[in-house]
Structure 1
Amino acid sequence: MAGMVLFVGQDVLMKDMLTLYPVWMLIFVRSVAALVTLLPLVVFLGAPHRIWTPLWPWYLARAVLFAAGFAAFYAAFPFMGLAEVITLFFSAPLMTATLAAIFLQEKIGRHRAAALFVGFVGVVIAVNPTSGDIGWIAILPLLCALSYAVSQIIVRRIGEQDTSLTIGLYTISFSGLVILPIGFAVSMILDITPELRHLGMEWPLPDLNGLAMLAFLGTLGTLAYTLVSRAYQIASASVIAPFDYSYLPLAAGLAYLLWGEVPPITTLIGMVLIVGSGMYTAYRELRVARPADETPPISQTVFTPGGPAAVLAEALDAEATQLDAAGEKVSP
């Protein structure tokens, strides 16, 4: 819950600071803050965390997805309410579950299939394509959701060979590098009008107050990632995942208090359907009996990159080894 509150604070601050700084600059600063924070943490904690990993090309691919996806996500902020953008982004776990079924052959029973269908109906209602008020802007958070879903599939595909801190260090740090050429390309293609000023490459020089706010932005994101990653390491994903959805009402409530944003009825209906779909999926997962060494479906995770279930599996193996050494009976 603390991680969710910090994630909301990060995005609220990001929305406010987009009136002063371009999105590329904010993502770059957030990546630098993550590097400064996570690198010493990985060094201090030591194994199983590691600085050098042969999987770095995959994390570079994830960084491209992250940078491009969240640039699209934040680019929609000046044109849409915070609750609307966030609701559309929460189609990510639905997309991840679908992609996992297609490319990873994860089984989807009739209950989960029905929940996914309801969730996608919620996405369509939230987009409200017949209104004509949002238009192509609504595609941006959906593109972010898709890029995030693909990045989750990449991690599951290559296996859980690194901890979430190592994966986060590489992914977030690399995203700061790749966001620069992406920003230059977009600024060259688009005609940067005043309403698209947040997509330009003119980086204003911040004053002391601006530097403090930029540092605060990066710190919020890094702390939020670390807290949520730790939660997934020490508890079942089925237990933790429903708490991710607390982000939606928190963000909507804060946007109303700060800017008087009132989501349209279609967004609220879509939000209820998407949250209900995700929470029912998690509820069904809690009721399914799984062997201790079987990894839970990747579709449960919303925010956290990586597969923290590997840490749980290692802990169970260590416990079984100790019991076996003591001559006690080990449950299968």
Structure 2
Amino acid sequence: MTAVASLAPLQSSRPLEGIACVLGGACCFVGQDLIVKDLLGAQPLWMLIFVRAGISILVLVPLIVWLGGKHRLLTPFWPIHLLRAFLLTGGFAMFYAAFPFMPLAEVSTIFFSAPLFIGILAALFLGERMGAHRIAALVVGFSGVLIAMAPGQDSFQWVALLPLICAMSYAASMILTRRVGDGESSLTMGLWTIGGSGFMIWPLGWLVNAVVPMGPEFHHLRFEFIVPDAVQMANLALLGVVGMTGYILLSRAYQVANASLIAPFDYAYLPFAAAAAWFFWGEVPGLNTFAGMAMIIGAGLYIGYRELRAPERAETPAPVGETLIATGVPAVTEDSELSPSNTA
């Protein structure tokens, strides 16, 4: 309770850094999801999430010890980080569980209702204003989700609810990230969030196997440990590195920029994921998926456009953040001051 009560105050927005981080994170997650989809079946889902977490711990622990300063292994924000780990572990287990049943573009389109949920949660818990324009955009966006899911039609599958639940849990985790603000290092946040998922995933896998009858269609959810061969081991290692980098970048993005401003830039994932799924597996999304995707993206971009036009955005000074070790992302030390030419 002490850590929760002493949350760092919300910081001012630094939009350019946030946008750069969220775009980099989206690219990482495209690669991650391609690897997961390729490995599912040969390895159970629980193994993939566990290995990704283990590799992240092996990389982040020595890096945090070496850097020191604001990067720390123990943190007073641990209740927040463990809650984020729980939300992301359960959410993305559902997301990946839908892969064998649905095309990647369809799963991703439904999941990308997350920025719409983020907009609602930001208004409820962060005090971000929600006017008539944003409410209308949210209605359009969620209408796009329903079109993509196609409830009531023969093409509807109950597994389409899994990426929707993942979107809700993802949105909640990102709001928690924003509540921590600049009071935490992105490396520490990544360690606790991704590392925590490694400890949570096996009990979750056991519970699913104990409750759900595991027929042949759920082969990718079987609860067993399979020793990977050399090729699988290389892909698992790559999965860990790419996933860790993506989580760190996205966590950083929501630390330094207003949630409703940068959330629409998550949509960069969708065209790349759809193109990659077509190139590697010949998956062609249905017309309802394309229609829903267009409505969701349009609603999110309109919300972002309204945020960028807000006059108070340009008058808000940028905060001072911690060092972030990530290729292509500007590093700002916690003791430095931003000059006017460096503020966004």
Match of 2:224 in 1: 202
Change (3 A) 1:241 1:156: closer
The alpha-carbon deviation at position 151 of structure 1 amounts to: 1.5
Q: Corresponding residue for 2:297?
A: 275
- CA distance in 1 between counterparts of 2:255 and 2:174 reads 16
1: CA distance, partners of 2:115 / 2:206: 30
Residues 238, 283 of structure 1: 8 Å contact kept: no
Structure 1 residues 46, 71: closer, same or farther in 2, change over 3 A? same
Deviation at 1:166, TM superposition (A): 1.6
Equivalence for 2:247: 225
Match of 1:303 in 2: none
1:282-309 deviation digits (Å, cap 9, x = unpaired): 12111112342589xxxxxxxxxxxxxx
- Decide whether the 8 Å contact of 1:37 with 1:222 is kept in 2: no
Q: Shift of residue 163 of structure 1?
A: 2.4
TM-score (norm 2): 0.81
Distance 1:101 1:235 in 2: 15
| Correspondence for 1:13 | 35
Whether the 8 Å contact between 1:80 and 1:134 is mirrored in structure 2 is no
Q: Percent identity?
A: 52
TM-score (norm 1): 0.83
Deviation of 1:77 after TM superposition, in Å, equals 0.3
- 2:47 maps to 1:28: no
Alignment of 1:307-326 (within 5 A): 318-319=337-338
- For residues 237 and 188 of structure 1, the distance between their equivalents in structure 2, rounded to whole angstroms, comes to 38
Q: Given the alignment, which residue of 148, 170, 177 partners 1:148?
A: 170
Within 5 Å, which residues of 2 pair with 1:66-81? Answer: 66-81=88-103
Match of 2:63 in 1: 41
Distance 1:46 1:122, change over 3 A: same
SS in 2 for 1:169: helix
Deviations 1:247-277 (A, max 9, x none): 1000001111111111111110110111111
Deviates more, 1:201-210 or 1:265-274: 201-210
Unaligned runs of 5+ in 2: 1-22, 320-330
CA distance in 2, matches of 1:232, 1:99: 13
The answer as to whether partners of 2:189 and 2:251 remain within 8 angstroms in 1 is no
Question: Partner residue of 2:19?
Answer: none
Give SS of 1:121's match.
helix
Q: Pairwise mapping of residues 26-175 of structure 1 onto structure 2 (< 5 A)?
A: 26-175=48-197
Q: Count how many residue pairs are aligned between Structure 1 and Structure 2.
A: 305
Whole-angstrom distance in 1 between the partners of 2:250 and 2:161: 27
Whether 1:292 aligns to 2:311 is no
1:130 deviates by 2.0
User: Per-residue CA shift, 1:99-134, capped at 9, x if unaligned?
Assistant: 222344431122222211111111111111021323
> How much does 1:90 deviate?
0.5
* Aligned-partner Cα distance in 2 for 1:3–1:178: 23
Using a 3 Å threshold, how does the CA distance of structure 1 residues 210 and 162 change in structure 2: closer, same or farther? same
How far did 1:190 drift? 1.3
Runs of 4 or more, structure 1, over 6 Å off, are: 231-239
- Whether the aligned pair in 2 keeps the contact of 1:4 and 1:247 (CA below 8 Å) is yes
> 2:201 and 2:296 mapped to 1: Cα distance?
30
- Displacement after TM superposition at 1:22 (Å): 0.9
**Which residue type is aligned with residue 140 of structure 1?**
L
Q: Which amino acid aligns with 2:247?
A: Y
Give 3-state SS (helix, strand or coil) of 2:183's partner.
Answer: coil
How well do the aligned residues superpose, as a CA RMSD in angstroms? 2.7
Distance 1:319 1:120 in 2: 39
SS in 2 for 1:6: helix
77-86 or 279-288: bigger deviation: 279-288
32 and 220 in structure 1: CA distance in 2 versus 1, 3 angstrom threshold: same
Task: Rate the CA distance shift 1:78–1:66 in 2: closer, same or farther, 3 A.
Answer: same
Residues 187 and 237 (structure 1), Cα distance of their counterparts in 2 relative to 1, 3 Å cut? closer
Q: Which residue of 2 aligns with 1:191?
A: 213
2:109, 2:270 within 8 Å by CA — same for their partners in 1? yes
SS state of the match for residue 51, structure 1?
A: coil
Q: Structure 1: how far apart are the matches of 2:122 and 2:249? A: 25
Q: 1:41 to 1:281 in 2, by over 3 A?
A: farther
Task: Decide which moves more: 279-288 or 263-272.
Answer: 279-288
